[in-house]
Amino acid sequence: MSALTRVHTPEERELARKQADIDRLSAQLADRELELATLRAELTAFQIRYLRAVGPCYRELDDLEARLAELRARQAPHDPAARRQAEEARARAEDSREQVEEAAREPEPVIPTAELKALYRKAAARIHPDRADNDADRDYRNEAMAALNAAYRDGDLAQIEALLHDYERRPEAITGEDVGAKLIRLIRQIAQLEQRLAATEDEIATLRASELHQLQQQIQAEEAQGRDPLGQLAAQLQRQIETARRALAQLTGTETTPVRPAAARRRPARRPRSDL
């Protein structure tokens, strides 16, 4: 019987349907992985810009407030609340210092181009670990996916192309070629893809609901209207710094200017970590 007139068995037809499901889920997952990687890159770039613009002001203000809290705690040695406030203020000051120093060490973030996004999506659809057939294949794909995400963050097109080339030349270790074995593998792959797709969508939703993302959206909206929210915030923080300096001088007996309460401050959460 020729290939054109061959009648497929029910098992073979089910195998074809499962493969179509895998292709569809792989495409969806590649889209979501790209969205997640791009969102992380954008938030990282925003936080670096934010910390470079106003981080030094936060660092100075937090240090002044820690010194104020420590002085007040020494003046009330039997007050546990004062000691607790001093410890919390010093912890905030250390956190500000670490974030500012980290932002200063970071290289300029890469803005993903359309070409970089397209190549990333192509590679993610092919090498994602949830398409693995066995443990050895999964180990290889996990390493390749980690390298792919690193290359995307660095904007390294050549590295992504090299990863694809390496994947396409790799001999696949395939066992159990009967229809039943293939069907079981495809069913398991579908379950893995569905789980990863749901997890990726949850990660995206979590990042979009984060304080950092909300702050990014607010800053960008104000900048789109021609305002300079980071410059305004830096000026506000400078006024708070002067207030804190006067308060510190007053406590040390070198100035008697009345102290005004500090205004509320906007601060992003610590940069989200990437586990890809």
Nearest to 260 by CA among 276, 233, 240: 240
Would you list the DSSP string of 121-144? Answer: HHHHHHH-GGG-SSHHHHHHHHHH
Residue 269 has pLDDT above 70, yes or no: no
Q: What is the pLDDT of residue 14?
A: 87
What pLDDT, on a 0 to 100 scale, did the predictor assign at position 180?
A: 75
Tokens of 56: 């030094």
Burial class (CB in 10 A: 0-12, 13-18, 19+), 37: buried
Indicate the pTM of the whole model: 0.74
Residue 178: which region, alpha, beta or left (left: phi > 0; alpha: psi -120 to 50)?
beta
24 has a pLDDT exceeding 60: yes
What does pLDDT average to over the chain? 85
Of 151 and 182, more confident: 151
Dump pLDDT digits (tens) for 163-179.
998 888 876 534 456 77
Sign of CA dihedral 238, 241, 246, 249: negative
The answer to whether 156 and 119 are in contact (CB under 8 A) is: no
pLDDT of 258 above 50: no
Mean pLDDT along residues 115-125: 94
What confidence tens digit (pLDDT) does each residue in 211-231 have? 999 999 999 999 999 999 999
Closest by CA to 167, choosing from 194, 190, 135, 142, is 142
Given a cut of 50, is residue 261 above it in pLDDT? no
Tally of CB atoms within 10 A around 44: 19
Mean pLDDT of 4-19: 75
Predicted confidence (pLDDT) at residue 259 exceeds the cutoff of 60: no
pLDDT for 206 = 97
Band (pLDDT 50/70/90 cuts) for residue 98 is: very high
Q: What pLDDT shows up at residue 173?
A: 38
Instruction: Give the pLDDT band (50/70/90) at residue 6.
Output: low
Range from 142-146, 166-170, 212-216, 254-258 carrying the lowest mean pLDDT: 254-258
The mean pLDDT value for 81-108 works out to 92
Q: What is the pLDDT of residue 57?
A: 95
Q: Is the pLDDT of residue 272 over 70?
A: no
Give pLDDT, residue 116: 95
